[in-house]
Each structure stands twice: as structure tokens, then as C-alpha cells.
Structure 1
């Protein structure tokens, strides 16, 4: 059988889609599975899983725009005849439904984001699955179950084996102060000064601190680094970042792809959530999606909204996630998730 998995979002959402591929391959070992992506990071991720994925089809929607996306879609959409396609969650944009339909799979599985209308294109699928009140990984596995295949709901992320370094971890805390920035999604970020203060406290606690940088947060990292010169900075290719995170005691991050990457690499993770629900956070026994606010999450994938629904100026991040609380929660995570520490890994201080 031939299957198509469409994973059109960013790194975190694509990591959450890897269990779809694993479940299909487990159910039908000789199945051929292609994956559609729209960003370079997910392209690298799925290209590193040749035992699961036959081809990675890259439609450069976010990198090169709608015209390049459409031309690439036309070039690829009829190259194979698929038995079934699976549009991973979250993917409410009409473009994603249209692209999935263009590949022409006989059965097409997606989530029901809303009631079916002419404009939302949900009618392009043959089977719509209700969005469960649980983590996105489990929501994705619901698509596989709807197709009649068995699923193991204890499944977690799948990453290339070379993206992890097993063994004792260094006494180092990785801090990722950024997130995806397009369309106003920088609203998900904990205040920059809070990350700076947290880094200073962790240094006083005797931990090494490394700031994880990338194109979307170089300016933020540069400013924090200037105020906390003892903190190191790490920037690299996706696989290099994953390997580095796997050696750290823990990662503190916004709700971002890096939080998912750290969890997938086997590290303890504290992800700071405000506008986005915890169901979007990192997954696993060593992952904590921390959202202590009483405000309901206001981000809605159906609306693609980036505003503060109740207009409290993102108090969920700025007021209800003080540095003291985050610091205590991180130390608690480290205490209850202790793993062997590599010797001589504590930074020398005068």
C-alpha cells in the first residue's frame, strides 16, 4: 500500500506527526510512505528517517510564497497513486486541505476543525475525525485509527537515531528564548528580561547556561548574552541542536519547535505556555508544558488569531509566569528527573 502524510506546519507540529508514519509502518511493514512538508526543518527531519519514509515532498509555501508552492504542487501531485492520505494536526488552513486533495488519494483523513462550509474546504476529505481533548500526538494517531489500523497510544516522537547522544548529561540548562515569528506568533514568547533573570539565577545555582539561537531569535539571544556574558550561545543545524539538547540536564523554552525537539532528543523540558494550550506542548514523561494561569488559552488554529482574547495584555505570560515560579518549577523537575551527570561538567566560577 502507498500512503501520504501531509505535515505542512513547523518543526514542533511535524515532530508530532512522526507517530503517524511510525504507526502506518508498524501496521503494514511493506507500505511505502511519502511525506509532504512546507518548511526546511521538517524536510530535514523526515529525510533522516529512510526506514520509515520513502520520499519527502517539499512544497516551499513559507519559504518562497504561494506561486512557488502551487507550481511545486502541480509538479508532484499526480506522480503517485496513494491508497490513503493523512493531514496532520493542526492544519486548518484551506491551502492545506486543497493540497492534500490534489494528491488524489482514494481515502483522505483529516480533523474536523469546524462545521463543513464551502470556504473551509473540509469537504475535500473523505473522513473527518473529531479533535480530541488531549495532546496533538494522540490527535494524529486518531487519524490512523480512523483508517482501521491499530495504534499504540504510548507512542511518542520519532527522530533519526543520530540526533540523540545517550548517556550521562552535563550540568547544563539550555534556554531557548525565541519562537516562530511570522503572523504575530511571537506573542507566545515569555518576556526577554525574564529569560535573562532566569539565566542569572541558574548560574548562581551552579549550572552552565547555554542560549539556543537561530534566525528567529538572534537579536534576543544577543541582548541576553550581552547582559549575561557567562552564558554560552549555541547555534547550529537542526541535528546538531538536537544532539546538544540531548546532553543537557534540561531545556527551558517557549512553546516552540525547540521544546518538542528537546523532548524528542530525550531531554527534560519545561515549556512555558501562555496563549497556546498545553495540548500543543512537548510530549513525554520528561516534558512539562507549564501553564499556571487561570486565563483560558486564546489561540485558535481555526481562526489563526494572534490577539489577546480577553485583552489582559497577555497576563498569562507576563504576570502569571513570574521568574520565581518558573525557577522553582524547573528545580523541581530537575530534582525529580535526576539522571547521571557527566563529571567535570560544572562551569568553573571564581
Structure 2
């Protein structure tokens, strides 16, 4: 069986989509899975052993360009794919498999794409978690009758990204990452907006406390997150700054994945890197503000999920509609430090 998957456009969603690929390979061990996705997701796909080939989508997020999609689809007809899975909900995302004349085209009901898809699933709300929704697509529609048909979330295939030990060693050397200190990762950015970002001063308080315990702190993120990392550094003492590296915008995604995997614990907002940290085996302390873990939690057993219980959250807004951000400001650094300690103790008991 030869399968084409039109993958998600965001790093976190791409990580979670690995659950579908694992399930397909479980059901069809000889299947060859090709995934088409934006170029920035390619380093993630290359770390999934289930993926035969990562195909770069030449169109930007939100770009329609019917002509290019038609040409892409026609060019793929010689691949003779047996089946396609379309993970985004848009109609345009279903065009390439349609133009490629792939006989079976599976996806959830979205923007008027009946015909573009010929195996349309309509009961998405029966599945609470995104991972469930991905995994359900690997099964026959008739079997996916609703809540519980896949079992509990903990029994589903969790993402597990491969780590390149040589690349990891090279990255540690390039960025002067300690070989003898316990590494703590901070992921203080959030592409979605400020209502997902725990305050920089809280991150700085946590960083200072962990450095005082003898750890080295690594700040991860894109170039957009570098000012946030700089703001954290600015609040540390001169001595503490020597043990805190702002790698936001300095690493490529491959390096970031390998260095995150070298961390004992990662403290993160609800972001793509949170899902990376879960998929490479870190302890994860996940801080939720305007969003909720009831849909896209970090998929690991080594996790502490923290949020405040004020009545206006989760609002799922990019910016706080009440202009106070209490869902984030009232979540204390001490609670994060305690969560780190609890995860450390849990892992020690297991070992």
C-alpha cells in the first residue's frame, strides 16, 4: 500500500500526527507513507521512522494558487498512490490528492470538500483529543462509532521522535552546552499570541532558582522569540547569565530537537516545542493560559500540566479580552519549581 498524507502546517500538530503514521504501520506494516508538508516541518518528519519520504509543499500557509496545486497533483499521478489522508480541514488541502487521482481520499468533514474527499468522516466531536482524531482516520469509518472506540488516550500511539546522537554532540559543542550539568529547557514563546505566554519575569525567577541548584538553562524558540529570551536573561544576575543560553533564533529546528532531547526537564507554554519535548522523552512542565489541555495535551506520562482556575479561562483568544492576563500572571514560579521537583522524584522512583 502506498499512502500520501497532506500534513499539518504547524510543528506541534505535525508532531502529534505521528500517531496516525504509527497506527497505519501497525495495521499495514508494508505501507509506504509519504507526507507533504511545509518545509519548516521537514526536520520533524525526518525523525519519524514511519515516514518513507517527506515532500515539501511549495505553497505558503493560506496560499490557494489553484494552478500550482493542479500541476502538483498531475505530477504525482505516476506515483500511483493507493490512499490519501488529508489532515488540515481546508478545501484547498484536499485538491492535490484529487488532482493526483488517488482512489481513496480520507479526511474529516471540513470546508465543502465532498467529492474532493470520498471517505469523509463527520463525527469529529466524538473524539476529544487531536491525537484520537488523527488515529481514528487509520481505521474503517464504520468502526469509528464514537467516544471510547479507540480506548483510553494513554493506550494510543504517542509520538516518539528519533534523536541523532552525533548531531546532538555537534550542537552541544557549537553552542557551548554543558556536558556535566543537568540541562533545563525553557520554551517561553507561543506563535498563537500573548495570551499563551507565561510572563518573562516568572521564567526568569524559575531560571535563577534552577541555576542556583547547579543546572544550566537553555532557552529555545524561533527568531521571533529571541526578544523574550533576552528579557529573561536581563533579569538574571551576572553570574547566573553565564549558565543561561538564549538559543532562540540561533538553532535550526534539527538542532533544537536534539538539544531539547538533551534536557532533563522542559518548561513550556502551550506551543509546538512543548510537543517536541514530550516526543523526545523529557520531563515536561506545561503552562496553559488561554488554551486548554483537553484537546492537545503534551503526549507523555512524564508531565505536569499547570493552569489557574479563574472563571474566564480557557478563552482561546490570542490576546486577553479582559486585558489582565491573570490566567498567566497568577500562576506562580513556585508552582513550576515544585512541578519540576515532583517530576524528578517520579523519574527517580521509576529508575
Q: Would the alpha carbon gap of residues 122 and 296 (structure 1) be closer, same or farther in structure 2, given more than 3 Å must change?
A: farther
Determine the C-alpha separation between the residues in 2 that align with 1:287 and 1:165: 23
The more displaced of 200-209 and 271-280 is 200-209
What is the CA deviation profile of residues 279-314 of structure 1, one whole-angstrom value per residue up to 9, with x for unaligned ones? 313101113333342444233xxxxx6354x64643
What is the CA deviation profile of residues 80-139 of structure 1, one whole-angstrom value per residue up to 9, with x for unaligned ones? 343322233xx34443344554444333322346xxxxxx22434332142345432222
Match of 2:24, SS state, is: helix
| Matches for 1:105-254 after TM superposition, within 5 Å | 105-112=102-109, 120-123=111-114, 124-125=116-117, 126-128=119-121, 129-146=123-140, 153-162=155-164, 170-180=181-191, 185-228=193-236, 229-230=241-242, 231-234=244-247, 235-254=250-269
* Matched residue, 1:31: 31
Determine the C-alpha separation between the residues in 1 that align with 2:112 and 2:163: 38
Taking structure 2 as the reference length, what is the TM-score of the superposition?
Answer: 0.78
Determine the C-alpha separation between the residues in 2 that align with 1:292 and 1:222: 26
Contact 2:70–2:96 at 8 Å: present in 1 too?
A: no
Match of 2:138, SS state, is: helix
Contact 2:163–2:258 at 8 Å: present in 1 too?
A: no
* Matched residue, 1:297: 314
Shift of 1:31: 1.8
Number of aligned pairs? 318
Contact 1:199–1:209 at 8 Å: present in 2 too?
A: yes
Shift of 1:174: 1.0
Match of 2:289, SS state, is: coil
Match of 2:309, SS state, is: coil
The more displaced of 124-133 and 278-287 is 124-133
Q: Would the alpha carbon gap of residues 307 and 237 (structure 1) be closer, same or farther in structure 2, given more than 3 Å must change?
A: closer
| Matches for 1:313-332 after TM superposition, within 5 Å | 313-319=324-330, 321-332=331-342
Match of 1:54, SS state, is: strand
Shift of 1:329: 2.1
Structure 2 segments unaligned to the other structure (5+ residues) = 145-149, 170-178
Q: Would the alpha carbon gap of residues 197 and 243 (structure 1) be closer, same or farther in structure 2, given more than 3 Å must change?
A: same
* Matched residue, 1:284: 300
Determine the C-alpha separation between the residues in 2 that align with 1:317 and 1:102: 46
Contact 1:169–1:246 at 8 Å: present in 2 too?
A: no
Contact 2:190–2:197 at 8 Å: present in 1 too?
A: yes
* Matched residue, 1:117: none
Contact 1:107–1:127 at 8 Å: present in 2 too?
A: no
Determine the C-alpha separation between the residues in 2 that align with 1:209 and 1:24: 38
Determine the C-alpha separation between the residues in 2 that align with 1:121 and 1:293: 38
What is the CA deviation profile of residues 200-233 of structure 1, one whole-angstrom value per residue up to 9, with x for unaligned ones? 1222333222222432211111222233223223
Determine the C-alpha separation between the residues in 1 that align with 2:292 and 2:180: 30
Determine the C-alpha separation between the residues in 2 that align with 1:134 and 1:289: 17
Determine the C-alpha separation between the residues in 1 that align with 2:214 and 2:349: 16
Taking structure 1 as the reference length, what is the TM-score of the superposition?
Answer: 0.78
Quote the RMSD (CA, aligned, Å): 3.3
Match of 1:216, SS state, is: helix
Structure 1 segments unaligned to the other structure (5+ residues) = 114-119, 300-304, 342-350
Contact 1:35–1:56 at 8 Å: present in 2 too?
A: yes
